[in-house]
Structure 1
Amino acid sequence: MAVLHPQFNPVALDLGVIKLHWYGLMYLLAFAAAYFLAWQRTKKREDFNAQMVSDLVFFGSLGVILGGRIGYVLLYNFGEFLANPLYLLRVWEGGMSFHGGFVGVLVAMCYFAYKYQKSAFTVLDFIAPCIPTGLLFGRIGNFINGELWGRVSQANASYLMYFPQAADADFQLLQAEPSLQSLASNIGGYLLLPRHPSQLYQAATEGVLLFVLLWWFSAKPRPRYAVSALFLLGYGISRFITEFFRQPDVGYQLIFGWMSKGQLYSVPMIVAGVILMIMAYRKPIYDWKITQ
């Protein structure tokens, strides 16, 4: 039997004049975790120090925010942008794209590498294990806000959820597919359908599992490109799989009848990951060794 999504207050902390929303709090936690983890990695590295970590996280934060917003608008709401270019600045309405944020981080890390005279992939290999915790907090924020919900499921399982935020989508789906009426439950005057809490699936895979894998893999010296390659492979594959449980974007026609935008944008990451992993071990270049 599906359960009702907990309807969290969108404001995590109300100080009167200042209100901190959950999504903003998740971003703060993500940046704090990235800083802490990067600082921890400097303990085994002589080529990075605390000041560099501060710059690294600052530049990376800008890349995430700017790239994530621009990517979301261009990749998912380009029509809205053409109709109203100022839509790009309406960040208070929400809307961030991982793939856009990923490109933003790449640009930021390349600038950092230029500033400190390092190979771009030396920097990317260093910071890659610190990224999944940010993805974890981001997906938790999605879940708390009740957004980016999963697809409707006919399984009679306790892990499925009714999302009041999906009431309009459920109504339209019931109109299009009356056979789903037997699955619907009347909650608060709305007919809601049981959906996968795909935000939690993605938090577990893109966040927890990918972090554990990367942190373990990067604990020892690896050839240049290898850690970045594993991140691309790990994220691309996990995102591709979990997209089967996530509701496709509104108005988007699935490719081949089953492939979503998230899966489409993940394919180049998987291909790039394979290429980089081959490059890493074909002619290994080691940027650091374990120090005592």
Structure 2
Amino acid sequence: MSLITLAAAAAQTHEPIYWVELGLKNGIDLGFFTLRYYSLAYLAGIVLGYWHLTRMAKAPGAPLAQRHADDLFFYCTLGIILGGRLGYATFYTGGDTGIPSLWLHPGELLSLWHGGMSFHGGVIGVLLAIAWVAWRGGLNFLRVADYLSVCVPFGMLFGRLANFVNGELWGRVVTDPNLPWAMVFPDAPDQLPRHPSQLYEAGLEGLLMIVIMLLLFWKTRARFRPGLLVGVFTAGIGSARFFVEFYREPDAQLAEFARQTGLSMGQWLTIPLILLGLFLVVRALARPAVATGRPAVA
């Protein structure tokens, strides 16, 4: 290859973006305490979701009242935190042994500032919270889940943006050296340009799902077909996660598992969600819509 050809190839190669040059910090230093953006992201998602749920509760045909929204705010917050941490301990720790090692140190389950939250564990925690509130209030579980599913993408958006600000959960090494948004993360062992998969997730699991769910709720009659909204959410969020996992670096302790099975742990856990979501959508469309009158709840 001639020197001219080599020079032309070098000129066509884009310089990657270096995360450290973006000037991002993982929190606000208050002197005696660092208020981490990761915690603020969860708080922002929960508060915004609660605000929107109160708006939906006032719309015609709502299956819940304000007091139920208040209960969901409290119990779903517990479900997200406890379910997310327990899910992470179960599925994403253990290293080469395959044993969920975080269970051997239960005190670390409360160390949220160290990171480590499982989306699938959080989903289970939220479902248990919905079941509890629906049972106590005599509400239809599926319809309450429909309403809550509209609010969840807010938290997904903020959470993934917080992952990017923390410089964690980066993507795989890029195969195209000219990818304009390829990024070098400081904690990556090889210091090679990678996909900023956190932003992919924020866009697909967060922003795209926010648009879809809000349009379905406010511009269509989807909320009057029990299971349709939560089905679209479940299938949509599962499909987005499955796709992004092709660009996301597997957790170090599960890299060998991904190599042996052909799919990452996140993808294996997402397949049942996609199938469940599709089932709920088909079931909802095959059944008649519910009455649009507002239920008599206090």
TM-score when scaled to structure 1? Answer: 0.86
Unaligned runs of 5+ in 1: 171-191
* Equivalent in the alignment of 1:273: 277
**Structure 1 residues 93 and 227, CA, compared in 2 at 3 Å: closer, same or farther?**
same
Amino acid at match of 1:258: G
* Equivalent in the alignment of 1:73: 89
Asked whether the equivalents of residues 63 and 139 of structure 2 are also in contact (C-alpha less than 8 Å), the reply is no
1:288 and 1:68 mapped to 2: Cα distance? 35
Correspondent of 1:4 among 8, 18, 30: 18
TM-score when scaled to structure 2? Answer: 0.84
- Between the two proteins, the alignment pairs up a number of residues equal to 267
- Report 1:141-290 matches (<5 A): 141-155=162-176, 156-166=178-188, 168=189, 170=190, 192-219=191-218, 220-222=220-222, 223-252=225-254, 253-254=257-258, 258-286=262-290, 288=292
Asked whether the equivalents of residues 42 and 158 of structure 2 are also in contact (C-alpha less than 8 Å), the reply is yes
Is 2:80 the partner of 1:64? yes
Amino acid at match of 1:118: L
Q: How far apart are 1:211 and its partner, in Å?
A: 1.0
Is 2:83 the partner of 1:30? no
Q: How far apart are 1:7 and its partner, in Å?
A: 4.5
**Structure 1 residues 111 and 258, CA, compared in 2 at 3 Å: closer, same or farther?**
same
Asked whether the equivalents of residues 63 and 140 of structure 2 are also in contact (C-alpha less than 8 Å), the reply is no
Q: How far apart are 1:287 and its partner, in Å?
A: 5.8
Correspondent of 2:121 among 97, 100, 118: 100
- Superposition CA RMSD, Å: 1.9
* Equivalent in the alignment of 1:189: none
Correspondent of 1:119 among 121, 125, 140: 140
Unaligned runs of 5+ in 2: 1-13
1:188-225 deviation per Cα after TM superposition (whole angstroms, max 9, x unaligned): xxxx1000000000000000001111111122333101
